[in-house]
Structure 1
Amino acid sequence: MHTNAEFHQYLHHVLEEKIPFCKLLGMKLTDLNADHPTLTIRKQPELIGNFSQGMLHGGVIASVLDSIGAVGVLLKMAQQTPRQTAMEQVAEFAQMSTIDLRVDFLKPARGDVFVASAEVTRLGRRVANVLMQMHDQNGVRIATGAAAFILHGKG
């Protein structure tokens, strides 16, 4: 059986380095607790949607929430059905697809650092449901989300 440390190291590498879009957004995993994982992004000029007010683009917010939701599902799967190796566990990332994503934008995203978190509310054999949220560096909640992921793996 793999160690959590090894699995977490692979997960960091995949999300932060191997997935080009996540790397472009500058996503950094900051907590890999299966019950409440978090990631952060820093505001960059390329991520601004409203240039006159310097606000983060809504598509960036949705993408970050979708990503932390998937990480949450992967961590919960590792907790409930651990695979033999860390590589097998991370490979389940490629076996998931978002089938529904809802985002509620609550406040303008004007901060410099944003933290997204997730909570898996249901992990079934074929579908997982997740609630997500994003805060700025002052703790102001700027968006919430809910997602459903289909799990294509053999279980």
Structure 2
Amino acid sequence: MSQNPEFQSLLKQVVEQAIPFCKLIGLQVRSFTSDRPELRLAMRDDLLGNFAQGMLHGGVIASVLDSVAGVAILLKLAQTQPREDAHAQIREFGLMSTIDLRIDYLKPGKGRAFIASAEVTRLGKRVANVLMELRNEEGERIATGAAAFMLHGRA
């Protein structure tokens, strides 16, 4: 299901249009690979935390890493536990929530664009664990993260 074009189209629409905060900051799906999906964020003045130095706000960094973790889990579920159709698979997004999020800020968030990626390290029946990273367009690692998500309503 993770490579199903209808599912990918729905996922892109959810991330880029349906989730208000993701839409607000301009998050875009860059890659649908179930092993390491990627989201892209273009730098804008209204995303700055340190406006004097032109650095991306730490809260935006944390939000982007949280978002890519959720996408990674959804894609892993689609790969390992496919549902009957793309709409049922997308509804899995509403059945998960972040229960722990840790961010390590490694470098100032400078760049014109940022790529967030994530890898699901454990997909249990009730909890999923994910490792994430954010790099700028030059490949510099800006931040890393680890998250745990509750999977509500899974059998």
TM bracket (short chain): over 0.9
**Within-5 A mapping of 1:13-52:** 13-52=13-52
Alpha-carbon distance in 2 for matches of 1:72, 1:22 = 15
- Name the SS of the counterpart of 1:93 in structure 2: helix
Residue 127 of structure 1 aligns with which residue?
127
Alpha-carbon distance in 2 for matches of 1:138, 1:53 = 18
CA RMSD of the aligned region, Å?
1.2
Alpha-carbon distance in 2 for matches of 1:18, 1:112 = 25
Alpha-carbon distance in 2 for matches of 1:154, 1:96 = 9
Alpha-carbon distance in 1 for matches of 2:113, 2:141 = 12
**Within-5 A mapping of 1:64-143:** 64-143=64-143
Residue 9 of structure 1 aligns with which residue?
9
Alpha-carbon distance in 1 for matches of 2:39, 2:154 = 28
Alpha-carbon distance in 1 for matches of 2:2, 2:147 = 28
Q: Deviations over 1:18-63 (max 9, x none)?
A: 1110000100000000001001000111100001001000000000
TM normalised by structure 2 equals 0.97
Aligned residues of 2:2 and 2:32 also touching (Cα < 8 A): no
TM normalised by structure 1 equals 0.97
Aligned residues of 1:2 and 1:84 also touching (Cα < 8 A): no
1:136 CA displacement: 0.3
Alpha-carbon distance in 2 for matches of 1:79, 1:36 = 12
Alpha-carbon distance in 2 for matches of 1:2, 1:69 = 15
Query: Residues 139, 95 of structure 1: CA spacing in aligned structure 2 closer, same or farther, 3 A cutoff?
Result: same
- Would you say 1:53 and 2:56 are equivalent positions? no
**Structure 1 spans left out of the alignment, 5+ residues:** none
Aligned length: 155
Alpha-carbon distance in 1 for matches of 2:119, 2:153 = 21
1:2 CA displacement: 9.1
1:3 CA displacement: 6.4
Alpha-carbon distance in 2 for matches of 1:106, 1:100 = 19
- Name the SS of the counterpart of 1:108 in structure 2: coil
Alpha-carbon distance in 1 for matches of 2:25, 2:78 = 25
Query: Residues 121, 51 of structure 1: CA spacing in aligned structure 2 closer, same or farther, 3 A cutoff?
Result: same
Structure 1 segments of 4+ aligned residues over 4 angstroms from their partners: none
Identity of aligned residues (%): 58
